[in-house]
Each structure stands twice: as C-alpha cells, then as structure tokens.
A = this chain, B = another copy of it.
Amino acid sequence: MTASTEAGAKRKLYLEDLAVGDRFQSGEHVLDVAQIKAFAQQFDPQPFHTDEEAAKATFFGGLAASGWHTAALTMKLLVDSGIPLADGIIGSGGELQWPRPTRPGDVLHVVSEVVEITPSRSKPGRAMVTMRCQTLNQRGEVLQSFTPKLVVHSRPASA
C-alpha cells in the first residue's frame, strides 16, 4: 500500500503519482434504517428498501439498501477520503456488481486499487486509469465492486 488513509486524504495526486497496484483506503460511513428508507423513498421506492415488515416476505428477506444507495455512498467515501486525485474523480462508467445486500447497521469503507493506466493517444498529459473499488462492511464482506475508468491529468507546470 503506497498511500495510507491519512496520507491519501491530504495529498493531491496527479497522473505521475499513480502506478499500477497502488491502493487507497477510505474512511467509514455508518448506515442506518432511516438513511436506507430516505434514499429509497426518493430514488428506489420498492418495499424491500422502504418497509422493514414488507421486506421480510421478499427476495431480500429483510430491509436492504438500494444498490444505488451503496453506489452513492461509495462515491461519497471516495470523494471525501478514498482517492485523492487533484482534478477530482471523473469517471465514464465501468462494471458494477452488488454481490450481497447492504443492510442497516453496516459500516462501509472503500478499498481502491489502480488496475491499469492507459495514456491518451490524442491528448498528451491525460490517461484513462482503471481502478477496482471494493465497498466492504465491518466484517470485510464485499457489498459492491466497481471498476471505473477515470480521467486523470498530469501535473500542470505550475503545480
């Protein structure tokens, strides 16, 4: 691990600072029932995300967070403390997996690793950086795996 949580949260990284295999770990987010319901009521109003009783009789067997809630919280963790890119975390998408439901009481954190760095052919000083971002709970269970392609720029002459 070349960048610890502490150092990672303070440094601002450019393309030159990244290498395949670099890892970053975010801070934590504690998820509760109220947050799960509030997000679901706004964006994913299905019984297994909004109603603890109704959720028992569903596929999930109990209240679960919307996958998009897990995804949004992952982004919050990445922005706040996860991947300290100088120009921000700018992605064009990637493969997204939710291997198990996120539950009330889960404490989320994100571990990210640089998988591939592909310099732009047309734009000098820019690269597409593929990361693998795994969102884990307090038991180390993977709640989400996302492999975004991020746009990362070189350090400007003045920086």
Contact = CB atoms under 8 A, between A and B. Distances in A.
Interface of A: 39, 42-48, 58-60, 66-68, 71-73, 75-76, 79-80, 87-99, 145, 151
Number of copies: 2
A30 to B, nearest CB: 15
A145 B89 CA distance: 20
B92 A98 contact: yes
Contact of A75 (B66, B76, B151): B66
Given A71-B68, A95-B93, A79 B42 contact: no
A99 B71 CA distance: 18
Given A93-B97, A98-B93, A72 B79 contact: no
